[in-house]
Amino acid sequence: MNAEPTGAPDRGQSQADPQEIARLRVAIGRLHRRMVQHTAGDLTFSQTSALVAVEKLGPIRLGELAARERVAAPSMTRTVAGLVEAGLLHRAGDPQDGRSYLLSITDQGRGFLEALRTERSAVLAAGIAQLGPVELDVLRRALPVLEHLAERES
């Protein structure tokens, strides 16, 4: 990562500097924390993550959701119970397996996520509005790299 916004990145360097990696990790963490702290919603991080996963994956069994979220099924059972009680998720019998059930997002759950995303985008937009033209240009050019990092499976 090149600290200077001018000039091309050094392609001769095959490994990122550990200090730069730490700086990036801290910066991303702080941005995320700021967005989470300044937005409404009584859901825990785990509940929000599960709700987003169900929205993305469609009807899904609890065990599959737990595996995707990398938590134990009993933990996911507690997480989902609160979301069902709040009306954000719907639980229905699985026609393929009578011992299991499928989770799907409700209209209320979609509305909740839409409002949450709007609020978090506003918090981020307020910070971006304080950037100068050079910083804004650097951020725009960094977006494809950040998106690539975010999409990679580890």
Residues 117 and 135 in one domain: yes
> What's the confidence (pLDDT) of residue 98?
75
Domain span holding position 36: 18-40+111-151
Residues 121 and 82 in one domain: no
Residues 56 and 91 in one domain: yes
Cα–Cα distance list, 120 to 14, 115, 126 (Å): 35, 9, 10
DSSP per residue, 100-143: EEEEEE-HHHHHHHHHHHHHHHHHHHHHHTTS-HHHHHHHHHHH
112-146 pLDDT, tens digit per residue, is 999 999 999 999 999 999 999 999 999 999 999 99
Overall average pLDDT of the 28-37 stretch:
88
> What's the confidence (pLDDT) of residue 14?
62
What pTM value is reported for the model?
0.77
Please report, for the domain that includes residue 60, its CATH number.
1.10.10.10
Number of domains in the chain: 2
Residues 96 and 126 in one domain: no
Strands laid side by side in the 89-94 sheet: 60-61, 97-105, 89-94
Residues 102 and 51 in one domain: yes
> How far apart are the C-alpha atoms of 103 and 105, rounded to whole Å?
7
Torsion of CA 52, 99, 78, 54, to 10 degrees: 0
pLDDT at position 11 over 50: no
Q: 97-129 in b/e burial notation, b at 16+ Cβ within 10 A?
A: eeeeebbebbeebeebbeebeeebeebeeeeee
Q: Is residue 62 part of a domain?
A: yes
Residues 96 and 120 in one domain: no
The Cα angle at residue 94 between residues 88 and 97, in degrees rounded to 5: 150
Q: Is residue 5 part of a domain?
A: no
pLDDT at position 7 over 60: no
> What's the confidence (pLDDT) of residue 6?
46
